[in-house]
Amino acid sequence: MKRSRNFRPLTIGLIGASAFALAACKEETEQATAYPDLSACLADASRGSAPVTEEQCRVAYAQALQTVNDSGPKYDALAACEEQHGVGNCQQAENPGGGMGSMFMPLLTGFLLGKMMGGGMMSQPLTPTKNGTFTTPGGTQFNNNRGVATVPTSTFTNKSTAGWNNAQSAARSTGGFGSTMKSTGGVGG
């Protein structure tokens, strides 16, 4: 039996349309740089090796610190905080209700910087997890708190604190800052 060639353009068209549709579903990404503290960002900016200025470092760090203080997890006991964030990774905090008793919260162990398409800056705090990784408020986990990686844009837009309160189950690993990190002189993962 002879094959019909009438379906070839249709088949090629469907394959092309499928590839285009799959590409449209791909999540947008941003290049992000993680710093363990403000001084590391300022040092890179002063050498010209950071994608940001010293002032942008200061603003991003202040935003990350504010996010942790305002919406970071608070625990009634040091042991409860250290259960989620690891021994030595918690600090005493002011009681948000102004009441008596101690509150504990994870330390800010870094911050993540990204540039939006329009050139504006985005930042997210990084806090430690009990398994030695670092997480954003939305639960994106990283192996390291220093380096450059490509991350989903949602890493910056997801302000949920689910990742802080239950880093093990809420985290979505991206493999960045450890397995796909471009070295910036930091600790490898």
What global pTM score does this model have?
0.69
Tokens representing 37? 């503290």
Range of the domain at 34: 27-69+109-173
Q: What is the domain count for the chain? A: 1
pLDDT number for residue 86 = 94
Within a domain: 45? yes
pLDDT number for residue 39 = 95
Within a domain: 164? yes
pLDDT number for residue 100 = 66
Distance in angstroms (rounded) separating the CA atoms of residues 122 and 114: 5
Within a domain: 37? yes
Q: Give the pLDDT confidence of 75-113 residue by residue, as tens digits.
A: 999 999 999 999 999 999 876 566 667 889 999 999 998
Within a domain: 84? no
Within a domain: 79? no
Tokens representing 93? 């905090």
CA dist list (Å): 179 to 119, 169, 176, 185: 27, 21, 6, 15
Mean pLDDT, the chain, integer: 74
Within a domain: 1? no
Q: Give the pLDDT confidence of 125-138 residue by residue, as tens digits.
A: 999 999 999 998 88
Within a domain: 180? no
Within a domain: 47? yes
Q: Give the pLDDT confidence of 24-83 residue by residue, as tens digits.
A: 566 788 888 999 999 999 999 999 877 788 999 999 999 999 988 888 888 999 999 999
